[in-house]
Structure 1
């Protein structure tokens, strides 16, 4: 049976605060990264107000990488969790990478094997008079040999040449001195029966065996831990975001290795450097203020420029918060993303918008002026018809420019309480002329002084829906109603026109979609969707009882 594992990954600080998580983590806990970053890992994961008993993060900080199986309250999933400490250049633990794999299906399988190797009993040997007097079954299992086979092998020949002399010397010195240091341990590689080197950790102790000194070797298979270290080192190095930790003086205490791709500086070159020195001179005063805010815990995401090792100027976006140790603020930690390409795109977009707003609009105004002059001349009927068509095209082009300009502004809306009745009144006034031209009545029943969370372009949102009905529904009447609850307000705009086929409803809000290639722009309804996304609102397109289309626009109340 093949089973695919999707790891959830998080970076935690030493106080259990979540700094960064991958998308799979967010999906499992049902929270966005912004929501998670306000919480401790045990609050998000276990719904507790303090660390779990036997917390793997605490064990990892105090000793070595740790792992355990755990399950969340009131959920069926079983998780295999591993924690690997992240250290700064001085070897101090400043955080940890947490990974977890959903083992639920494995737990349900009634098989006679395990997918994940758990720690087995340690290998034990007794070494005396330059030979091994005893080797236990667990060590034989680690190596893959039988007792008979191991008797014919010089155990030291199995130790990797890079470590052999060190292990021999340590054992002989221990016997000579009569003891080893309590914390003395040796990590080395040893060859198993399959001709594969595996990593083990030796904790030796001098004992008395048959009346003489001997070394009791306690051997632990740490291959998974070693592989895990490499794996999580690779994980950090290959993150799209750069993880960093600064002390209270803004000196770099830790930065993930992928920083070199963005800055050109290696981690060693950045160690202990004040990060303000890397910031573009024009942005430094702002970064100092931001750093102070981050120390106090009130910093928001910001963009700034820094100078790379080669002198190139690049844009980054960062969000930071206090780094704490035992509840005390010791600096700032955060995540940094290179947004240079995004800034260049925004710059090009702004240039194009500028062309539309000024250059192209100026040319259109010139055309409109010439059209007015031509109307005053004695021209054939056919020529006047061409002038009329030209004027209509000019008006449509102006409308496109206005909608593109509005679309750009939509992404910069300042969300605030807005009176929805005033926005609707403004929208219907804007649509009044075009509605009367098409002999369409607009009826609305909108209570006053109902506020919703939106922006100054709310009237344009309603106008584009009304305009869409006027232009494309072949209706004679448009009705507007409001329905409000404690938390939400829904505005319904419906017509008695030809309606929208079910197969087309899902396309109406897409950019560029139009059923009228001659008069449609494909921008108006996309603008509606863009504004609603900004307002955290929603829109449903249904069939109206009047026979046409019905748009239900739902907005949050303050």
Structure 2
């Protein structure tokens, strides 16, 4: 009989082999029984009985053995069924894992494709390296360094690092691999293929790439920025102005070396100190108010007196720009002590000039009145014709002197802003001025408003002086028998309404070379000119937002007379269709 192993840990192949052996043994047992049955079938009862008795034990043993073998076969088949189920489960698990691995591989390929697409389109240089060898470089690295991809992949990673920066890069890399906290970005010098040294900003990290620890680094070319910073540092070092950074708490964080040249303090004596510590007591309230502007995100421009190391004060003009997120302000301070001194001297000179003007306006005018009184007394003595003419000349000079003083005082008040603007009707101002001209012996003066009943401009009470000065100027320069015409028109300039007044005469005229100069303060056409009449006209007209010029009465022939034109912005005036077209001019 075949002996069957009882070990439950037999392999599937061993179990199948034993099962085949049992089946073969069972087959042989069945063959023996079948043979005996055939033999017994051919004998008589006695023989059969003898054979059965003789073979009884053998047959019983065979049957018993067969039963045991059949049970073992059943057990083996059950074990095989269990193992078949386990194999099926394992096969399903293997298939599932195979699908998962396929998906992971697909995702990995997609991720690598995205990485390459991003890396090869970015403006940053990107490298992957293990140890001292590159395993990937993007096109920007090739562009920055000048090497090809194949050249870089065959190079040692240290070949591109400048000797001055190698220790820094080595130390940072070692600390990063040890898991220590190191700055993610730092600046290093890099060598290009053509031997140049450039500045690059490195940002590095360790990642898992293709199942292995790999260093990834981004590289930005910051050479231009470093040059700008060096230029800034040179400016900071050599600037004559005080360059500074001050916190919102009022304390200096950075001060340029020029503070020593300007104020005598060493740089370190300023650092950490409060702005107010160096501010003149009378200027502290203003300084604190200006510093609060920084906290509101507004620039501050102001001047104050700052303490020098020798105990004196100098005027400094500050201009600071806030950096709200950093809670500080950067700015510049300029020494304006000499300018302030000049301003004080100018104010003193102005006060002195005002005193002289007041002196002319009051005391000298009083003398004029006394002199005019004596002239009247002299006329009462019935002088001869020659003496009377001399008296007239003296009176004329005194009157001109009085007008000059009047014009000076008007200019002074104009520059001081003493006159308030208001709406004034030019038609009425011309009509009022006409009464002063009156009947001028030997000269004809005509006012033509061209049918306009009103023309409003924004001016002040000195508009009257504009017209009287222009007419008086014409009266002075034409001979007897000549004519003066004052006319009013409305026109448009750049789409806006204007009121235009012209004073023309048929006197000797003004050559082109003098047309611009007649409005200058010091211009004198003749010995009798005071030089301030037309200058006052120009000053007033400009203060009204208008312009004044002189042109030929007959275009191209100055000898036929002059035309002075004043053009002023009109207020709510509509241009009359009958107005004349604009004429060519030479503006003062």
Match of 1:497 among 506, 525, 547: 506
* Larger helix percent: 2
Q: Secondary structure at the match of 2:141?
A: helix
- The equivalent of 2:443 in structure 1 is 439
Q: Secondary structure at the match of 1:308?
A: strand
Shift, 1:335, TM fit = 11
Match of 2:306 among 287, 305, 308: 308
1:478 aligned onto 2:492:
no
- The equivalent of 1:58 in structure 2 is none
- The equivalent of 2:409 in structure 1 is 405
Shift, 1:204, TM fit = 0.9
- The equivalent of 1:17 in structure 2 is none
- The equivalent of 1:350 in structure 2 is 350
- The equivalent of 2:462 in structure 1 is 457
Q: Deviations over 1:162-182 (max 9, x none)?
A: 6443222112222232x977x
Cα distance in 2, alignment partners of residues 444 and 255 from structure 1: 72
Say if 1:465 and 1:373 are closer, same or farther in 2 by CA, change over 3 A: closer
Cα distance in 2, alignment partners of residues 258 and 440 from structure 1: 75
Shift, 1:203, TM fit = 1.4
Give the gaps of 5 or more residues in structure 2.
Answer: 1-120, 555-559, 573-588
1:512 aligned onto 2:510:
no
Q: Secondary structure at the match of 1:460?
A: helix
- The equivalent of 1:467 in structure 2 is 472
Cα distance in 2, alignment partners of residues 142 and 476 from structure 1: 84
Alignment of 1:529-540 (within 5 A): 529-540=538-549
Bigger RCO (CA 8 Å, 6+ sep):
1
1:126 aligned onto 2:128:
yes
* Larger strand percent: 1
Shift, 1:554, TM fit = 1.6
Cα distance in 2, alignment partners of residues 293 and 355 from structure 1: 41
Cα distance in 1, alignment partners of residues 504 and 191 from structure 2: 80
Cα distance in 1, alignment partners of residues 453 and 281 from structure 2: 51
Say if 1:307 and 1:143 are closer, same or farther in 2 by CA, change over 3 A: same
Alignment of 1:56-95 (within 5 A): none
Cα distance in 2, alignment partners of residues 335 and 495 from structure 1: 56
Q: Secondary structure at the match of 2:175?
A: helix
Q: Deviations over 1:432-485 (max 9, x none)?
A: 26x726634252539667542223433333333333333335552231425388
| Higher Cα Rg, which structure | 2
8 Å contact 1:280–1:306 — kept in the other structure? no
Shift, 1:130, TM fit = 3.9
What is the RMSD computed on CA atoms of the aligned residues?
A: 5.8
Cα distance in 2, alignment partners of residues 256 and 457 from structure 1: 54
Q: Secondary structure at the match of 2:475?
A: helix
Moved more, 271-280 or 528-537: 271-280
Shift, 1:186, TM fit = 1.4
Cα distance in 2, alignment partners of residues 419 and 254 from structure 1: 59
In the alignment of these two chains, the number of paired residues is 425
Q: Deviations over 1:369-414 (max 9, x none)?
A: 4686588679999998777666655544444443333233323335
TM-score using structure 2 length: 0.53
Cα distance in 2, alignment partners of residues 261 and 531 from structure 1: 49
8 Å contact 1:438–1:470 — kept in the other structure? no
Cα distance in 2, alignment partners of residues 303 and 472 from structure 1: 53
8 Å contact 2:445–2:485 — kept in the other structure? yes
Q: Secondary structure at the match of 1:476?
A: strand
Q: Deviations over 1:27-83 (max 9, x none)?
A: xxxxxxxxxxxxxxxxxxxxxxxxxxxxxxxxxxxxxxxxxxxxxxxxxxxxxxxxx
Q: Secondary structure at the match of 1:436?
A: coil
8 Å contact 2:239–2:258 — kept in the other structure? no
Cα distance in 2, alignment partners of residues 544 and 267 from structure 1: 74
- The equivalent of 2:220 in structure 1 is 220
Cα distance in 1, alignment partners of residues 456 and 329 from structure 2: 39
8 Å contact 2:491–2:499 — kept in the other structure? yes
Say if 1:490 and 1:346 are closer, same or farther in 2 by CA, change over 3 A: farther
Shift, 1:220, TM fit = 1.0
Alignment of 1:278-427 (within 5 A): 278=279, 281=282, 306-310=304-308, 311-312=312-313, 314=315, 340=340, 343-344=343-344, 346-347=346-347, 350-351=350-351, 353-360=353-360, 362=363, 365-366=366-367, 369=370, 373=374, 392-413=396-417, 416-421=421-426, 422-427=428-433
Q: Deviations over 1:260-284 (max 9, x none)?
A: 6998598995989577994773x77
Shift, 1:365, TM fit = 4.9
1:554 aligned onto 2:556:
no
8 Å contact 1:124–1:136 — kept in the other structure? yes
TM-score using structure 1 length: 0.56
Give the gaps of 5 or more residues in structure 1.
Answer: 1-118
Q: Deviations over 1:235-288 (max 9, x none)?
A: 9998999999997x9x6999998996998598995989577994773x777899
Alignment of 1:105-120 (within 5 A): none
Cα distance in 1, alignment partners of residues 431 and 253 from structure 2: 56
